[in-house]
């Protein structure tokens, strides 16, 4: 079924062509099915008047490069031609992955891992149905690994085993959806507060759960502006508060000051029994415990839940994450499931049983000391990148507790695609992960410096001002240089 305002449409096979049959007539699908997103591009140093708009139509673009599924011929089993063809497609795809991995800088994934020892498990359908702490009738699971991983994170975030509940999620977004759902169940009439720099999944949760949501302003660093936060709290002081605290924002890598958030709540008259804090630590939630002078995320403070991604800093071949909340809260969500002979309080039904094993394997191999070394390497390399950019006259910013280097957006979309940079408005960023070496950064910098000679020819086009995004002191435009 496809939903539209005031009606439900039966989807026919013609939907593949962007149409739907309704009351015997073929009508175009509503715009919200294939929304057109205008992307403003500045090509090769174009000025404001020369900028072009590229339209991205969701749901259609990938069809130009998809691998079609075709029906086998009658004699395929005899000739083996289909197996050979599929093997060639996969071999070509593997080569493309190797090439794309070489130039992977804009997204927070650690691509430096080797799980060859776990290849022996790929022949099993491992499914962690239901509650990780309750045995179900389904026997092909990895709960023993899942609970081991959860206990490790419980120690990291300082909560006793008998006081927490959690599970291995399918990604960081699921962790946010679950944490905010727990907050909503604890305070059904609560208002959700999240900074404007919060991950889009936080606002997705607000839409899914039909929650009142207040977007809070941010400082130039990307941290939550607690002055604006307090003003919005006072505007809704008759309703409980559910707060998303960012342990590393998506674009700028900013870490919200958890202690100041708690102080602001109490200063606005909210006692601990009237607020719920979810900490979105997708990337930096695992890095910050190993950064000197960094504030601590701990359940010894009045927080309700913490989530991290498993495929980011840890490094994992499939998306996954960890979500931990207080056991006292979970009864509001948990339901008996006779079909499983278990209870369930998760978002998903079936859960990837391989992911906990991959996480368990890495945690055992590296441990706290190994992660500490990798965090120090990332921060050191991030400072190297920032300093090199600034030395070349390129505006750049690096938050103190972050490995995300923000700089002026490159002028060439092909360059952005080549290095897989994440962009927002006039800025882009590189997320320095354990798999990002000095050599890779040098390759990127040399390419960027060479391309800028074309983009910014002397006397023609100058770099744009990005002071509003990264501050006057970090901007390298003609006015702030």
CA pair distance 59, 428, nearest whole angstrom? 25
Secondary structure element (H or E) that encloses residue 325, with its range: strand 321-326
CB 239 within 8 A of CB 190: yes
The catalytically annotated residue of 136, 142, 402, 403 is 402
Q: At what angle do helices 226-235 and 258-267 cross, to 10 degrees?
A: 30
User: How large is the C-alpha radius of gyration of the chain?
Assistant: 25
Closest-CA residue to 342 (of 208, 167, 151, 182): 167
Four-residue CA torsion sign, 200, 205, 207, 208: positive
Residue 68: strand pairing partners: none
Rounded to whole angstroms, what are the CA distances from 140 to 135, 149, 277?
11, 18, 35
Known catalytic membership, residue 66: no
| H-helix segments, 103-188 | 143-156, 172-186
Tell me which residues are annotated as active site.
402
């Amino acid at each position: 079924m496809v939903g539209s305002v005031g009606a439900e449409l039966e989807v026919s096979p013609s939907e593949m062509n962007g149409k739907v049959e309704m009351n015997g007539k073929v009508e175009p699908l509503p715009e919200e099915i294939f929304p057109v997103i205008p992307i403003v591009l500045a090509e090769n140093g174009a000025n404001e008047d020369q900028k072009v708009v590229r339209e991205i139509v969701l749901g259609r673009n990938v069809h130009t490069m998809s691998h079609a599924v075709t029906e086998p011929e009658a004699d395929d089993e005899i000739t083996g031609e289909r197996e050979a063809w599929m093997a060639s497609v996969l071999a070509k795809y593997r080569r493309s992955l190797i090439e794309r991995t070489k130039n992977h800088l804009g997204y927070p994934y650690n691509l430096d891992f080797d799980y060859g020892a776990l290849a022996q498990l790929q022949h099993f359908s491992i499914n962690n149905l239901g509650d990780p702490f309750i045995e179900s009738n389904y026997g092909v699971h990895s709960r023993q690994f899942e609970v081991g991983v959860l206990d490790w994170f419980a120690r990291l975030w300082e909560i006793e085993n008998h006081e927490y509940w959690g599970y291995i999620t399918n990604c960081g977004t699921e962790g946010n959806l679950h944490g905010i759902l727990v907050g909503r169940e604890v305070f059904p009439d609560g208002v959700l507060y999240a900074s404007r720099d919060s991950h889009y999944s936080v606002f997705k949760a607000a839409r899914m759960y039909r929650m009142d949501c207040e977007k809070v302003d941010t400082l130039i660093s990307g941290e939550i502006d607690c002055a604006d936060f307090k003003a919005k709290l006072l505007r809704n002081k008759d309703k409980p508060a559910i707060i998303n605290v960012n342990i590393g924002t998506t674009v700028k890598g900013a870490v919200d000051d958890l202690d100041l958030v708690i102080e602001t709540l109490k200063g606005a008259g909210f006692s601990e029994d009237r607020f719920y804090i979810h900490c979105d630590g997708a990337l930096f939630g695992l890095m910050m415990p190993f950064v000197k002078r960094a504030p601590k995320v701990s359940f010894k403070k009045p927080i309700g839940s913490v989530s991290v991604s498993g495929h980011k800093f840890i490094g994992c071949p499939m998306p996954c994450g960890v979500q931990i909340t207080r056991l006292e809260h979970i009864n509001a969500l948990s339901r008996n499931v006779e079909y499983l002979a278990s209870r369930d309080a998760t978002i998903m039904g079936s859960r990837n049983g391989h992911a906990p094993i991959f996480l368990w394997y890495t945690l055992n191999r590296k441990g706290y000391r190994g992660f500490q070394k990798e965090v120090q390497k990332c921060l050191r390399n991030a400072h190297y990148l920032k300093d090199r950019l600034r030395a070349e006259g390129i505006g750049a910013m690096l938050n103190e507790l972050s490995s995300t280097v923000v700089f002026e957006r490159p002028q060439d979309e092909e360059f952005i695609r080549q290095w897989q940079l994440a962009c927002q408005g006039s800025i882009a960023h590189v997320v320095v992960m354990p798999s990002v070496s000095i050599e890779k950064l040098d390759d990127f910098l040399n390419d960027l410096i060479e391309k800028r000679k074309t983009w910014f020819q002397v006397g023609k086009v100058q770099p744009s001002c990005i002071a509003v995004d990264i501050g006057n002191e970090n901007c390298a435009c003609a006015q702030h240089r």
